[in-house]
Amino acid sequence: MTGTTHADVLQQVAAAARGRFVIPADEVKQLQQAAGCSMDTLLLSILEEAAQEARPPISNYKVGAVGLGGSGAVYIGCNLEMPGNALSQSVHGEQFLMANLLLHQERSLHSLAISAAPCGHCRQFYSELACADRVRFVFGYRGHANPEVFSLAQLLPARFGPLDLLEDPSAPLLLEQQRHNLAWTSHAQATLQQRAGDQLLAQAAEAALQAAQSSYAPYTHCPSGIALVISSGQVAAGGYIESAAYNPGLPPFQAAVVAGIAAGCLPSYDQIREVVLVEVQSALVKHEGITKAVAASMSEGLPVTVLHVTRQ
């Protein structure tokens, strides 16, 4: 179009991503062709819109992350902070992006664009990826002509990773298919039977179970998942994501919050009406205590229903 500058076109790309957390591969191709730019530039052009989705009421520091999946789709992440809780309950923008990839069953990450270098926490977190050595980390600002590109080996040399801790070196890594065979305990079955007429609970229980079955817990073997029942009548679920370094992992509650935000059904935390946690009854690592504490900080009296499972 006459009079349209390259910057104008990139602004149009950014506008197309506004309020969205995934852009299908076909649309990504169309946007790139219309912009006439490299994929790195396209990803960087979306960063500001990604950051606008952040919820950092403590730091007021917004972080955006934009990733290109192996399927060609683009995924968006942002940072989340939870007032009234320890800072360890925060979700980094790069973690949000990873949970978003898992939600959409994306099996690899090609490139990750961020406005500043990732913290050490996230560098360690990304070491869990099966494709960790191939991911391109792209730094820069919207429309930057020469973005800098790094590998994880450059960002975190001599890193501690999955192969240092896994008993089975052939175990599937992050973004590879996980499958835990779990079944309800008799007590969980009784709880569900007592509320047999509650269709939202039944839906949330099934969603949390599915999230637990596909969660990433290769170190503790304590899979877990959480589903949120939201006031709109929708359910959002996410699974636990572990790290070889333990602390950089993502709890299932935060993964479920990511799912709700990415689906556009969780405008604020006070919209959560019930939390349904599924975890192994005899697990060495349990999320019941911290989940109840975080839930209570969001809404007094917010019910947390715990349903235990056993490994088959």
Per-residue pLDDT tens over the stretch 200-225? 999 999 999 999 999 999 999 999 99
User: What length does the chain have?
Assistant: 312
Query: Are 26 and 80 in a shared domain?
Result: yes
What is the identity of the amino acid at 213?
A: Q
pLDDT, position 270: 95
pLDDT, position 140: 77
Distance CA 235, CA 76 (A): 21
Does the pLDDT value for residue 122 go beyond 50?
Answer: yes
pLDDT, position 147: 83
Q: Give how far Cα 24 sits from Cα of 16, 31, 99, 162, Å.
A: 12, 11, 17, 31
- Compute the C-alpha angle 30/33/36, nearest 5°: 145
Task: Yes or no: say if 274 and 150 are a contact pair by the CB < 8 Å rule.
Answer: no
Whole-model pTM: value is: 0.95
**pLDDT confidence bin for 302, thresholds 50/70/90:** very high
176 located within any domain: no
pLDDT, position 115: 79
Query: Are 128 and 22 in a shared domain?
Result: yes
Per-residue pLDDT of 164-205, as tens digits, reads 999 898 999 999 999 999 999 999 999 999 999 999 999 999
Strands (DSSP E) contained in the chain are 22-23, 64-69, 74-78, 109-114, 136-139, 148-150, 182-184, 224-230, 235-239, 272-280, 304-311
pLDDT, position 145: 59
Per-residue pLDDT of 251-278, as tens digits, reads 999 999 999 999 999 999 999 999 999 9
Q: Is the dihedral angle over the CA atoms 86, 174, 166, 172 positive or is it negative? A: positive
Task: Yes or no: say if 215 and 279 are a contact pair by the CB < 8 Å rule.
Answer: no
Which residues span the domain enclosing 272?
Answer: 182-311
Query: Are 225 and 153 in a shared domain?
Result: no
And the tokens for 246? 């333990």
Looking at every residue in the chain, the average pLDDT score rounds to 95
Does the pLDDT value for residue 235 go beyond 90?
Answer: yes
With helix as H, strand as E and coil as C, how does 197-228 read? CCHHHHHHHHHHHHHHHCCECCCCCCCEEEEE
Query: Are 151 and 215 in a shared domain?
Result: no
Distance CA 193, CA 204 (A): 14
**pLDDT confidence bin for 1, thresholds 50/70/90:** very low
Query: Are 145 and 186 in a shared domain?
Result: no
Buried b (16+ CB within 10 A) or exposed e, 80-94: bbbeebeeebbbbbb
254 DSSP 8-state letter: H
Per-residue pLDDT of 44-97, as tens digits, reads 999 999 999 999 999 999 999 999 999 999 999 999 999 999 999 999 999 999
Distance CA 237, CA 260 (A): 7
Query: Are 15 and 151 in a shared domain?
Result: yes
In 148-298, alpha helices (H): 152-155, 186-194, 199-213, 252-262, 288-298
**pLDDT confidence bin for 230, thresholds 50/70/90:** very high
Which positions are catalytic?
A: 94
Q: What percent of the chain shows pLDDT beyond 90?
A: 90
**pLDDT confidence bin for 116, thresholds 50/70/90:** confident
Query: Are 21 and 153 in a shared domain?
Result: yes
172 located within any domain: no
Query: Are 159 and 187 in a shared domain?
Result: no
What CATH number has the domain bearing residue 223? 3.40.140.10
Query: Are 198 and 131 in a shared domain?
Result: no
What is the number of domains present in the chain? 2
**Bigger pLDDT: 98 or 147?**
98
Query: Are 100 and 206 in a shared domain?
Result: no
φ and ψ at residue 240, rounded to 5 degrees = -60, 140
- The percent helix, strand, coil of the chain (3-state, each to 5) is 40, 20, 40
Query: Are 194 and 158 in a shared domain?
Result: no
Q: What percent of the chain shows pLDDT beyond 70?
A: 97
